[in-house]
């Protein structure tokens, strides 16, 4: 018997394991092993996807973007490290003040905690991850000048010093177990008693514990709960959200923008078009996004088709778009956004009744569609991004068409946090309302997305949840 099993060692699990073990608890952290694709067959088999309940869900070509190893998906990240803004936590109660229309099918709620509650945990994370701004580049300087001339207030995006937070585990006493947790075990009272897992030799075993912290990221967390028959009366898997990140490109003929100089962590951002930052009257949507300009590295072959999507033949003088992008890549600059998406009951994750993984267990089924307000938010924000690029000297701008991203890089929901068991799955500490000993950390608990990256908030909430669990287990 150990005190706590932590499921998953991405940023959420690393922080939780560090805090729990540092407090003297015995902690075993199970981490699945990636296959050649960076994802583990039993944890992240490709889900099936459909747009609504009446549609047949089809297997997606690949798993969600991410990594199954110590460090998790943050190993692929910039890693930008943002605090959320006040609107993201108070979107429901401030909707009227923003002048925005709340769609009748959206279920927007305030978080049960505010930025004041999160601030000390953000402070701890920023110290531990050495968060700060990267030096400016010629491109970010150019875009800063353009933003100021539009009357906006540009700022350098905060970034963690390293993608790899696993240093927090050094000398912590956490026992790392290469294993995939396949079920959460409960006793006759319904409380957690242990986990079932498949070890490195593919033998199924069990481990007894007093509490489990599930830090498996959104889709694997929901799947593990449902495979363990933990449903919170049908609420597990609901209010699933995704950042439908989008880009707008601009060309600066004859200017070498220095694409090779820096990665996406060296970004300049503006927050004027985030949820609480502007009057939404008549716009038909709530929320928004920060807009960011960064050099996202050289144009690798796989990125060319995306950059060429939406290019007008008038811009390329009739040249084939992909060939034109290859020839002009040094003078193409990009602004990108991570727009809010409102929570909806019908956007959900459940277990697929047909499709199974290598061990014969149901894969996750994702039901996800964009709504009219998503399209209006995209129209509005992409015009502001284009305006920013034009102000900085772009001859012309273009954007790929809006497309739903059910398996994007930033996913949210499925185990919503709130004060009431009637309308949420976990409390503000990630404690499951009706399963003693079960704590969920990660963006599955977020009631809203926010218009910025999630990882620093995931880490801050995990620190807060683990600190509370230490108290609970005393």
Ligand X SMILES: Cc1cc2nc3c(=O)[nH]c(=O)nc-3n(C[C@H](O)[C@H](O)[C@H](O)COP(=O)(O)OP(=O)(O)OC[C@H]3O[C@@H](n4cnc5c(N)ncnc54)[C@H](O)[C@@H]3O)c2cc1C
Distance CA 445, CA 170 (A): 27
CA pseudo-torsion sign 116, 113, 473, 466:
negative
* Residue among 406 and 453 whose Cβ is closer to ligand X: 453
User: Under 8 Å CB-to-CB from 282, ≥6 apart: which residues?
Assistant: 99
User: Which residue number, 62 or 420, has a Cβ lying nearer to ligand X?
Assistant: 62
Could you tell me the CA-to-CA distances from 125 to 132, 291, 455 in Å, in that order? Answer: 12, 24, 10
* Tokens representing residue 78 in the block: 């910039």
Question: Closest CB to ligand X among 224 and 386?
Answer: 224
Taking the complex as a whole, the smallest distance from the CB of residue 8 to ligand X amounts, in Å, to 2
Minimum CB separation of residue 390 from ligand X in Å reads: 26
Q: What is the C-alpha separation between 469 and 248, in angstroms, rounded?
A: 44
User: Residue 357 or residue 391: which is nearer to ligand X going by CB?
Assistant: 357
Q: Which two tokens stand for residue 86?
A: 């006040």
Residue 155 DSSP code: E
Least distance to ligand X, CB of residue 252, Å: 25
CA distance to 9, 50, 137, 142, 410, per residue, from 258 (Å): 36, 40, 8, 12, 27
Q: Tell me how far, at minimum, the Cβ of 377 lies from ligand X, in Å.
A: 20
Measured from the CB atom, the residue of 74 and 134 that comes closer to ligand X is 74
Spatial separation of the C-alpha atoms in residues 416 and 167, rounded to whole Å: 30
If the CB atoms of residues 3 and 456 are measured against ligand X, the closer one turns out to be: 456
Considering the complex, state which of residue 14 and residue 98 has its C-beta at the smaller distance from ligand X. Answer: 14
CA–chain centroid gap for 17, Å, is 20
In sequence order, the 6+-apart residues with CB closer than 8 A to the CB of 317 are none
User: What is the nearest approach in angstroms of ligand X to the Cβ of residue 101?
Assistant: 29
* Residues 406/419/19/126 CA torsion (nearest 10 deg): 60
How far apart are CB 49 and ligand X at their closest, in Å? 17
- Please tell me whether residue 215 adopts helix, strand or coil conformation: coil
Q: How far is the CB of 224 from ligand X (least distance, A)?
A: 5
Tell the smallest beta-carbon distance from residue 316 to ligand X (Å): 29
Residue nearer to ligand X on the CB measure, 271 or 386: 271
Other CB atoms closer than 10 Å to residue 375's CB: what's the count? Answer: 14
- Least CB distance from residue 102 to ligand X, whole Å? 26
Give the separation between CA 303 and CA 243, rounded to whole angstroms.
Answer: 19
Residue nearest to ligand X (CB): 10
Strands of 215-347 (E only): list them.
Answer: 241-242, 246-251, 267-270, 291-294, 332-337
User: For residues 95 and 216, which CB has a smaller minimum distance to ligand X in the complex?
Assistant: 216
Q: DSSP of 317-328, one letter per residue?
A: TT--HHHHHHHH
Q: Are strands 58-59 and 155-156 parallel, antiparallel or unpaired?
A: unpaired
As measured in angstroms, the least distance from the Cβ of 98 to ligand X is: 24
Shortest distance in whole angstroms from residue 301 CB to ligand X: 17
CA atoms in the 13 A half-sphere facing the CB of 178: 8
Residue pair 255/288 in contact by the 8 Å Cβ criterion: no
**Cβ proximity to ligand X, 292 vs 328, nearer residue:** 292
Residues in contact with ligand X by the rule CB under 6 A: 7-13, 30-32, 40, 43, 65-66, 68-69, 72-74, 76-80, 180-181, 215-217, 220, 224, 409-410, 442-443, 453-455, 458
Q: Give the residue with the Cβ less far from ligand X, 79 or 321.
A: 79
Rg (CA), the chain: 22
């Amino acid at each position: 018997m150990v005190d706590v099993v932590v499921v998953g060692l991405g940023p959420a699990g690393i922080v939780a394991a560090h805090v729990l073990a540092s407090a003297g608890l015995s902690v075993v952290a199970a981490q699945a092993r990636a296959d050649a694709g960076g994802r583990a067959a039993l944890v992240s088999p490709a889900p099936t996807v459909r747009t609504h309940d009446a549609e047949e869900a089809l297997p997606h070509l690949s798993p969600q973007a991410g990594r199954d190893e110590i460090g998790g998906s943050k190993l692929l990240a910039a890693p930008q490290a943002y605090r959320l803004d006040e609107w993201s936590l108070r979107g429901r109660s401030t909707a009227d003040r923003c002048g925005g229309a709340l769609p009748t099918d959206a279920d927007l709620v305030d978080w049960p905690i505010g930025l004041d509650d999160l601030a000390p945990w953000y402070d701890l994370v920023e110290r531990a991850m050495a968060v700060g701004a990267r030096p400016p580049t010629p491109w970010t300087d150019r875009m800063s000048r353009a933003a100021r001339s539009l009357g906006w207030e540009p700022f350098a995006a905060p970034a963690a010093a390293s993608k790899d937070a696993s240093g927090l585990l050094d000398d912590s006493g956490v026992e790392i177990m290469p294993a995939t947790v396949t079920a959460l075990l409960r006793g006759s009272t319904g409380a957690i008693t242990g986990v079932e897992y498949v070890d490195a030799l593919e033998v199924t075993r069990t481990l007894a514990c007093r509490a489990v912290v599930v830090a498996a990221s959104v889709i694997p967390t929901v799947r593990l709960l449902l495979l363990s028959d933990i449903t919170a009366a049908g609420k597990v898997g609901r209010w699933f959200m995704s950042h439908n990140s989008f880009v707008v490109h601009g060309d600066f003929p004859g200017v070498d923008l220095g694409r090779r100089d820096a990665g996406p962590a060296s970004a300049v951002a503006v927050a004027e078009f985030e949820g609480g930052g502007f009057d939404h009257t008549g716009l038909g949507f709530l929320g928004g996004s920060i807009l960011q300009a960064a050099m996202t590295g050289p144009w690798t072959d796989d990125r060319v088709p995306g950059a060429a999507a939406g290019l007008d033949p008038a811009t390329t003088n009739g040249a084939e778009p992909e060939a034109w992008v290859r020839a002009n890549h040094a003078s193409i600059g990009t602004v990108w956004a991570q727009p809010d998406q409102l929570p909806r009951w019908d956007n959900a994750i459940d277990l697929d009744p047909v499709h199974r993984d290598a061990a014969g267990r149901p894969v996750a089924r994702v039901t996800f569609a964009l709504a009219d307000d998503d399209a209006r938010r995209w129209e509005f924000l992409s015009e502001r991004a284009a305006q920013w690029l034009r102000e900085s000297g772009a001859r012309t701008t273009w954007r790929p068409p809006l497309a739903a991203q059910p398996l994007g890089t930033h996913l949210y929901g499925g185990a919503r946090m709130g004060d009431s068991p009637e309308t949420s799955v976990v409390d503000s500490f990630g404690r499951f309302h009706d399963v003693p000993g079960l704590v969920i950390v990660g963006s599955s608990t977020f009631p809203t997305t926010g218009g910025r990256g999630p990882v620093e908030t995931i880490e801050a909430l995990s620190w807060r949840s683990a600190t509370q669990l230490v108290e609970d287990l005393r």
